[in-house]
A and B are shown apart, each in its own frame.
Chain A
Amino acid sequence: MTALDWVILTVTLAGIVSYGAWRSRGVRDVNTYVLGDGTLRWPTIGLSIMATQASAITFISTPAQGYADGMRFVQFYFGLPLAMIVISAVFVPVYYRLRVRTAYEYLEHRFDVRLRFVGGFLFLLGRGLAAGITIYAPSIILSQILGWPLQPMILAIGLIVIVYTVVGGTQAVSITQKQQMIVMMAGLGVAAVVVILRLPDEVSLGDAVKLAGALDRMETITFDVDLEDRYNVWSGLIGAFFLSLSYFGTDQSQVSRYLSGRSLAESRLGLLFNGMFKIPMQFLILFIGVMVFVFYLFARPPVHFDAPTLAQARVARPAEVASIEARHDEAFAARRDAALAYVAARGTAGEEAARTALLAAARQAEQVQGEAKALIKAALPGATARDTDFIFLSFVLDHIPIGLVGLLLAVILCAAMSSVASELVALGATSSVDFYLRIRQALGRPAAAPKHGLRASQLLTVTWGGLAIVFASTASLFDNLIQAVNILGSIFYGTILGIFVVAFFLPRVTGTPVLVGAVLAQALVVFLFFRGGIGFLWFNLIGCAVVVIVSLLVQAFLPRPPALPDATARVIASRPGETRSAT
């Protein structure tokens, strides 16, 4: 890192955070803390939704996924636009009409307070754990690769986010996320251009894509039906549809993004904006990873991308590491020559033979890298031999021009802060609105003063931030960070979604059957998770389906309930002084 990189990194981060905190000063009560002042337009909402989902892990692990596994991960997002349509058409109008502040508040209106607590609890459990990973993931990787100390880094990310989140609430989060997303998109564009410009002169973009295709990195669409295959069209369309429906429709960290809009129309447009640009954005990130893979066909990659771990292995087993590195050099040279031969042979009769030779050379290079991992495992029993999460940062530090390194590190830290901020404000809001204030009301205590509700929300946000920092400080590296977050989400999302699906689409089902269904569904999903054998995306579908089916079955055995007086007026009367437009 040069001084220029440090200046760009510091100015970008400090500027965005200060601007967000300044623009959102003057939070008055719990409602403005949770939902802002209701003035946000659709571009801010859309960018804020995207920034909430795009954590640092997205920019570290997704290019690595492209590098190691190719483009097929993009299918994971195919269900997202369809989920945006359903949420815009069904969920958001109801949230607006009932003027709820959290998604779980709706469950009490529709069923009873038990379901509100269940929904809120599942959210707090899943999101509370995920917030720790969201801080930990970039910290561990940046600290290892840059030599920055881990604990101060976790503390720094956590504390900065806590400060501006507590000061400005949802409004600060949305405003900073808009700027952060702009930095992220600019950084991505720069990375894409740089990696393509760094290819050898004789390799065009078309050649690079064909090379990636020859080495199985461009298998973007898979129609095969395979429950164990995590990424194909069907798991993407069906499993990811349910995951997206649950995440965007019922997870408070996303619900508060669009409920802070100026009107229903602005909220809908923000969601549809996300549906429109998510797949192209993920395609670009994966494509950058694939192009980094092609780049390393011509520039010698390290035998292991986790440089600090490799250095330790070099100390522990110097002769063996030197021997593997010598073989790695040979394998790289052979693969580079084979890649150049393939490019030269394109469109000629010798293309197939050149491709076969390239595949053989690539296999040889992968075998040497596999041996390096095995050696690291043997030499350093406690160390992780997996290096994919280090690939993109290694490329940035070794091959990106001065100044742009600072920008790309700013992208990663912006992404970390944006998603953590949404999570913390949502965790604080749910703990306060759905538990603390609601339990106070149930105990017959007088209504909390606006300042009291605000202070409680802020204090709970700080508490969740502290817990996330503690969790991040003690967590160990998961096999793959982005998958860890998605798996964690999928364990809880199916059940939460099932509760909401019954609430929206099965008007005759009451609270008790849904509660039974939710408990059984969650137990089944946890059992299936530990048993293994099913791709995690299917947990969303299974959890949701079990809640719906069990609710219908149990309801069938219950007597039909009598009608009660108009509750709509009661619901609206319970939230006085709000003037949200539902146009």
Chain B
Amino acid sequence: MPDDRVLEADRGAEAPPPFWSRWSRIYWFLAALLAAETLALWLLSRWAT
């Protein structure tokens, strides 16, 4: 059973992988989509009110 100590060897399995991987492009796309949605909703608010 794991105990109350940090295990150096665990870090390979329990630490997260590098954030910027080959998935980066789809992450950027999602962030850009959020920015575009925010802008579109702001423009809609401005037009409608």
Which of A88, A108, A279, A564 meets B23, CB within 8 Å?
A88
Interface of chain A, main secondary structure: helix
Contact status B42-A221, CB under 8 Å: yes
Interface residues on A, range: 35 or more
A218: Cβ under 8 A from any B Cβ: yes
Contact status A85-B45, CB under 8 Å: no
Tell me the complex Cα distance, A202–B5, Å. 72
Contact status A98-B41, CB under 8 Å: no
Contact status A89-B21, CB under 8 Å: yes
Q: Which residues of B have CB within 8 Å of A85?
A: 27, 30-31
Contact status B2-A220, CB under 8 Å: no
CB-contacts of A269-327 with B (<8 A): 272, 275-276, 279-280, 283
Contact status A220-B41, CB under 8 Å: yes
Q: A508-B6, A568-B9 are in contact. Are A94 and B14 (CB under 8 A)?
A: yes
Interface of chain B, main secondary structure: helix
Contact status A109-B14, CB under 8 Å: yes
Contact status B37-A279, CB under 8 Å: yes
Tell me the complex Cα distance, A283–B23, Å. 27
CB-contacts of B1-48 with A (<8 A): 1-17, 19, 21, 23, 26-27, 30-31, 33-34, 37-38, 41-42, 44-45, 47-48
Tell me the complex Cα distance, A249–B32, Å. 22
Give A113's nearest chain B residue, CB to CB: B1
A567: Cβ under 8 A from any B Cβ: yes
Q: For the complex, count residues of B whose C-beta is within 8 A of A.
A: 35
Give B11's nearest chain A residue, CB to CB: A507
Contact status B34-A89, CB under 8 Å: no
**In the assembled complex, how far is the CB of residue A252 from the closest CB belonging to chain B, in whole angstroms?**
19
Which of A210, A212, A275, A567 meets B7, CB within 8 Å?
A567
Give A275's nearest chain B residue, CB to CB: B30
**In the assembled complex, how far is the CB of residue B42 from the closest CB belonging to chain A, in whole angstroms?**
4
Q: Which residues of B have CB within 8 Å of A511?
A: 3-4
Contact status B5-A510, CB under 8 Å: yes
Contact status A512-B4, CB under 8 Å: yes
Q: Which residues of A have CB within 8 Å of B16?
A: 89-91, 93-94, 504-505
CB-contacts of A74-117 with B (<8 A): 74, 78, 81-82, 84-85, 88-91, 93-94, 97-98, 106, 108-113
Closest 3 CB pairs of A and B: A213-B48, A218-B48, A561-B5
- Which B residues fall within an 8 A CB radius of A? 1-17, 19, 21, 23, 26-27, 30-31, 33-34, 37-38, 41-42, 44-45, 47-49
